Amino acid sequence: MILENNIIYNNAYVELIEILKRLPTDEFNKIPKIYVDNLNKNKNQNYHFIYDETKEPNEQNFMTETKAIFVDLYIRYIATDDEKDVWREYDKYCFQKIENEKKKKYDKDDLFDSNSNKIERNSKEELYKKNIDITDNSIENKESLIVYKESFMKKIFNAIKKIFYKK
């Protein structure tokens, strides 16, 4: 798995280098030389990416990892302060959206219920309610179904209380 990730990122470095070659000189100079050297050192020598000059950069067929690395590089080194603020707001929006999806996906009420279980449970509850309503219309009978259990400590306390009140 780690080896696969390394290969993917090494391929992404090849694509990223092709993007950097086409940056204006003033923007390219904002990127630290050690960063570019690291990309060149870690790129996959066997992977060849052909940048199509006839297409716009956003129309190119870049890997998702390449796009992510470029956005990070852009925010760190090339973007102005205003652009960085926009990216921060976008990140907040994305993280909030992800968190909302997680909350919805892992909702404690629906965590262990699949759709079939929900339907089955709801139909059983409806049948149970109808059965109770048909057989017992009195509230007293419905309440008698509740079993009250005393805790062990409560039983001891009540026994001691009875001893003192008998005298």
At 22-35, the pLDDT tens digits run 999 999 999 999 99
Q: Is residue 83 part of a domain?
A: no
64 burial via Cβ count (<10 Å: 0-12, 13-18, 19+): exposed
Q: For residue 66, what are the domain limits?
A: 2-78
Residue 56 lies in a domain: yes
Residue 165 and residue 93: Cα distance in Å, rounded? 68
SS (H, E, C) 28-65: HCCCCHHHHHHHHHHCCCCCCCCCCCCCCHHHCCCCHH
Query: Does residue 98 belong to any structural domain of this protein?
Result: no
Q: Is 132 part of any domain?
A: no
Q: Is the dihedral of CA 20, 23, 28, 31 positive or negative?
A: negative
Classify residue 103: in a domain, yes or no.
Answer: no
Cα separation of 70 and 62, whole Å? 11
pLDDT at 33: 94
Does a structural domain hold residue 28? yes
Query: Using an 8 Å Cβ cutoff, are 10 and 43 in contact?
Result: yes
Residue 161 lies inside a defined structural domain of this protein: no
Residue 51 belongs to a domain: yes
* Residue numbers of the chain with a pLDDT score lower than 50: 134-142
pLDDT at 25: 92
* pLDDT at 130 (0 to 100): 56
**AA identity, residue 15:** E
* Structural domain total, the chain: 1
